Structure 1
Amino acid sequence: MTRQRNDSSQGNRKRNPVEQQLMDPISQSESILERLIFRNRPAMLILFFLISLVLGYQAMGLKPDASFEKMIPGSHPYIQNFMSHREDLAGLGNSIRIAVEARDGDIFTAEYQELLKQVTDEVFFIPGVDRSALKSLWTPNVRWKEVTEEGFVGGAVIPNDYDGSDNSLEQLRQNTLRSGQVGRLVANDFKSSIIHAPLFDINPETGARLDYQAFSAQLEEVIRDKYQTDQFQIHITGFAKVVGDLIEGASEVVMFFLLALIITAILLYLYTRCLRSALVALSCSMLAVIWQLGLLHSLGYGLDPYSMLVPFLVFAIAVSHGVQIINGITMESAQGAEPLAAARRSFRSLYIPGLTALFSDGIGFITLMVIDIAVIQELAVAAAIGVAVVVLTNLLLLPVLMSYLSISPKALSHVAAQATANSLAQQQVEGRIAKRSLWTLFQGFTRPRTAMVTVVVAGLLFAFGVNISRDLKIGDLDPGTPELRPDSRYNLDNAFMTSNYSTSSDIFVVMVETEAEQCASFENLDLIDRFQWEMANVKGVQSALSLADVAKSTLSGLSEGSLKWHALSRNQYLLNAALAYVPQGMVNAQCSLTPVLIFLNDHKADTLERVISAAELFAKNHNTDSIQFQLAAGNSGIEAATNRVIGTAQYQMLAWVYGVVGLLCLITFRSWRTLVCIIVPLALTSVLCQALMTFLGIGVKVATLPVIALGVGIGVDYGIYIYSRLESYLSQGMALSEAYLLTLMTTGRAVAFTGLTLAIGVGTWLLSPIKFQADMGVLLTFMFLWNMLGALVLLPALAYFLIKPKVISSVMMEGGEGSSSGMHTPALGIAPVQSIDRAQAVDFSEKKEQLFPATEFPEVSKASQHDEVKANDFNDDSNVSKDQNNSGDIKDAIQ
Structure 2
Amino acid sequence: MNPSTSLDEQPVVARLEDFDTRSGGLAERLLFNHRAWVVALCALLTLLLGWQALRLQLNASFEKTIPTKHPYITNYLANKGNLAGQGTALRVAVEAEGPDATIFDKDYLATLQKISDELYLLPGVDRPFMKSLWTANTRWVAVTEEGLDGNTVIGDSYDGSPEALAEVRANVERSGEIGQIVAANFKSSLVFVPLLDKDPRTGQALDYGQLGRQLESLRERYGNDGHVRIHITGFAKVMGDLIEGMRLVLGFFAGALVICSVVLYGYTRCVRSTTLVVVCSLVAVVWQFGLLALLGYQLDPYSVLVPFLIFAIGMSHGAQKMNGIMQDVGRGTHRVVAARYTFRRLIVAGLTALLCDAVGFAVLLLIQIEVIQDLAVIASLGVAMLIVTNLVLLPILLSYVGVNPAAAQRALRMETTALSAAPAGRRSLWQRLDLFTQRKPAACTLGAAAVLAVAGYAVSLQLQIGDLDPGAPELRADSRYNLDNAFMQREYAASVDILTVMVATPDDQCTRFGTLEKVDRLAWQLEQLPGVEATNSMAALSKLAMVGYNEGQLKWYDLLPNDSALGGVQTRAPRELFNQACSFLSLYVYLKDHKAATLDRVVQEVEGFIAQHNTADVRFMLAAGSAGIDAATNIVVKQAMREMLLWVYGAVLLLCWFTFRSWRAVVVAVLPLMLTSILCEALIVGLGMGVKVATLPVIALGVGIGVDYALYVLSVMLARLRAGDSLSAAYQHALQFTGRVVMLTGITLALAVGTWAFSPIKFQADMGILLAFMFLLNMVGALVLLPALARVLLKPAAAQAAHAGHAEKTKPPACEASPRAG
TM-score normalised over the length of structure 1: 0.88
Partner Cα distance (1:415, 1:22) in 2: 17
Displacement of 1:817 in angstroms is: 11
Secondary structure, in 3 states, of the residue corresponding to 2:124? Answer: coil
Is contact 1:556–1:566 with CA below 8 Å preserved after alignment?
yes
Aligned to 1:438: 429
Q: Give the structure 2 partner of residue 144 of structure 1.
A: 140
- Aligned pairs for 1:279-678 (under 5 A) are 279-425=275-421, 435-678=426-669
Residue identity matched to 1:129 = V
The yes-or-no answer on 1:261 pairing with 2:257 is yes
Offset of residue 552 of structure 1: 0.7
RMSD of aligned Cα (Å) = 2.2
Q: Report what 1:887 is aligned to.
A: none
247, 250, 253: which one aligns with 2:246: 250
Q: Are the equivalent residues in 2 in contact too, given 1:342–1:403 (CA < 8 A)?
A: yes
Give the aligned residue type for 1:712: V
Structure 1 823/445 Cα, relative in aligned 2: closer, same or farther at 3 Å? Answer: farther
**Partner SS for 1:814:** helix
Question: Do the aligned partners of residues 77 and 28 (structure 1) sit closer, same or farther apart at CA in structure 2, a change above 3 Å counting?
Answer: farther
Q: 1:34 aligns with which of 28, 31, 46?
A: 28
- The separation in 1 between residues aligned to 2:815 and 2:718, in whole angstroms, is 11
Runs of at least 4 residues off by over 4 Å: 15-18, 25-30, 432-435, 816-825, 830-835
SS at match of 2:705: helix
- In the alignment, the residues of structure 1 paired with residue 231 and residue 770 of structure 2 have an alpha-carbon distance, to the nearest angstrom, of 32
Establish whether residue 70 from structure 1 lines up as the match of residue 64 from structure 2.
yes
- 1:423–1:462 CA distance, 2 compared to 1 (3 A): closer
Relative to structure 1, the CA distance from residue 294 to residue 280 in structure 2 (aligned partners, 3 Å threshold; closer, same or farther) is same
Rounded to whole Å, the distance in 2 between the matches of 1:16 and 1:348 is 9
Displacement, 1:613? 1.2
Please say if 1:97 is aligned against 2:101: no
Partners of 1:611 and 1:821 lie apart in 2 by: 64
**Residue 820 of structure 1, CA deviation:** 10
Amino acid at match of 2:592: N
User: Equivalents in 2 of 1:97, 1:598: separation in Å?
Assistant: 17
Q: Does the 8 Å contact 1:476/1:605 carry over to 2?
A: yes
Counterpart CA distance in 2 for 1:305 and 1:822 is 48
After superposing the two structures, state which structure 1 stretch, 774-783 or 59-68, moved more: 59-68
Instruction: Report the Cα distance in structure 1 between the residues aligned to 2:583 and 2:807, rounded to whole angstroms.
Output: 68
Structure 1 residue 205: Cα displacement: 2.6
Match of 2:78 among 84, 107, 111: 84
Q: What letter matches 2:85 in structure 1?
A: G
Which letter does structure 2 place at the counterpart of 1:390? L
Residue 227 of structure 1: CA displacement? 4.5
- When residues 769 and 823 of structure 1 are mapped into structure 2, their CA distance, relative to the original with a 3 A threshold, is farther
Q: Does structure 2 retain, via aligned residues, the 8 Å contact 1:108–1:172?
A: yes
Residues of 2 paired with 1:283 and 1:707: CA distance?
Answer: 26
Tell me the SS of whatever aligns to 2:533. Answer: strand
Q: Deviations over 1:578-616 (max 9, x none)?
A: 333221121122222101000011111111111111111
Asked whether the equivalents of residues 349 and 823 of structure 1 are also in contact (C-alpha less than 8 Å), the reply is: no
* Cα pair 1:327 1:750 within 8 Å, conserved: yes
**Deviation at 1:695?**
0.5
| Alpha-carbon separation, structure 2, partners of 1:401 and 1:361 | 24
What is the letter of the counterpart of residue 409 of structure 2? S
1-structure distance, mates of 2:215, 2:812: 61
* Secondary structure at 2:754 match in 1: helix
The DSSP-based 3-state class of the residue aligned with 1:91 is: coil
> For residues 569 and 75 of structure 1, do their structure 2 counterparts lie closer, same or farther at Cα, with a shift above 3 Å needed?
same
State the one-letter code of the partner of 1:71: T
Residue 30 of structure 1: how far off its partner (Å):
5.2
* 2:730 equivalent to 1:734: no
- Whether the aligned pair in 1 keeps the contact of 2:702 and 2:771 (CA below 8 Å) is yes
Match of 2:774 in 1: 783
Label 1:134 to 1:831 Cα distance change in 2 as closer, same or farther (>3 A): closer
* Partner SS, residue 475 of structure 2: coil
Q: Give the distance between the partners of 1:792 and 1:702, measured in 2 at CA.
A: 32
Judged with a 3 Å threshold, the aligned counterparts in structure 2 of structure 1 residues 832 and 710 are, in CA distance, closer, same or farther, namely: closer
State the one-letter code of the partner of 2:251: M
Question: SS where residue 572 of structure 2 aligns?
Answer: coil
Q: d(CA) in 1 for partners of 2:536 and 2:126?
A: 23
Q: Please list the CA deviations of residues 363-397 of structure 1 after superposition, one character each: whole Å capped at 9, or x if unmatched.
A: 22100000000100000011101100001111111
- The offset of 1:187, in angstroms, is 0.5
* Residue 423 of structure 1, CA deviation: 4.0
Q: CA deviation at 1:514?
A: 2.1
Matched, 1:719 2:710: yes
Letter of the 1:465 partner, please give it. Answer: G
Bigger-Rg structure (1/2): 1
* Residue of structure 1 in register with 2:230 after alignment: 234
Deviations 1:208-233 (A, max 9, x none): 11000011111111344345422210
1:637 deviation in Å?
0.2
Q: Which amino acid aligns with 2:311?
A: F
Aligned residue number for residue 194 of structure 1: 190
Contact 2:669 2:786 in 1 (8 A): yes
Q: Do residues 225 (structure 1) and 225 (structure 2) align?
A: no
Aligned length: 809
1:745 maps to 736
1:134 aligns with 2:125: no
Structure 2 vs 1, CA of residues 327 and 823 (structure 1 numbering), >3 Å: closer, same or farther? farther
- Aligned residue in 1 for 2:14: none
Alignment-derived partner of residue 54 in structure 1: 48
Structure showing greater relative contact order (alpha-carbon pairs closer than 8 Å, 6 or more residues apart): 2
2:276–2:394 Cα contact (<8 Å) kept: yes
Q: Is the 8 A contact 2:513 2:559 kept in 1?
A: yes
Give the direction of change, closer, same or farther, for the CA distance of 1:536–1:733 in structure 2 (3 Å limit): same
Query: Which string of whole-angstrom CA distances, capped at 9 and with x for unpartnered residues, describes residues 122-142 of structure 1?
Result: 001111111111101000110
Alignment of 1:111-190 (within 5 A): 111-190=107-186
Q: Deviations over 1:110-151 (max 9, x none)?
A: 000000000001001111111111101000110011110111
Quote the offset at 1:571 in angstroms.
Answer: 2.1
CA-to-aligned-CA distance 1:618-649 (integer Å, 9 cap, x gap)? 11122222322110000000011000000110
User: 1:562, 1:283 → 2: CA distance?
Assistant: 80
- CA distance in structure 1 between the aligned counterparts of 2:50 and 2:451, rounded to whole angstroms: 49
Q: Deviations over 1:63-97 (max 9, x none)?
A: 11211100100100000000111001113231101
Shift of 1:822: 8.7
Is the deviation greater in 567-576 or in 649-658?
A: 567-576
CA shift, 1:99, in A, is 0.4
Structure 1, residues 860-894: CA drift from partner, whole Å, max 9, x if none?
xxxxxxxxxxxxxxxxxxxxxxxxxxxxxxxxxxx
Counterpart position of 2:15: none
Question: How far is the alpha carbon of 1:816 from its aligned partner?
Answer: 5.8
Deviation at residue 711 of structure 1 after TM alignment: 1.1
Distance 2:616 2:700 in 1: 44
Q: 1:5 aligns to what? A: none
CA separation of 1:796 and 1:832: change in aligned 2, threshold 3 A: same
Render the CA deviation track for 1:143-181: whole Å, top value 9, x for unaligned: 011110111111110000111010000000000000000
Question: Which TM-score applies when normalising by structure 2?
Answer: 0.95
Contact 2:346 2:818 in 1 (8 A): no
Moved more, 510-519 or 166-175: 510-519
Q: 1:122 to 1:612 in 2, by over 3 A?
A: same
Maintained 8 Å contact 1:550/1:579: no
Cα offsets for 1:825-866 (capped at 9, x unmatched): 9xxxx776999xxxxxxxxxxxxxxxxxxxxxxxxxxxxxxx
Kept after mapping to 1: 8 A contact 2:715/2:821: no
Given that residues 115 and 227 in structure 1 are in contact (C-alpha distance below 8 angstroms), is that contact kept between their aligned partners in structure 2? no
CA 1:458–1:321: 2 relative to 1, 3 Å: same
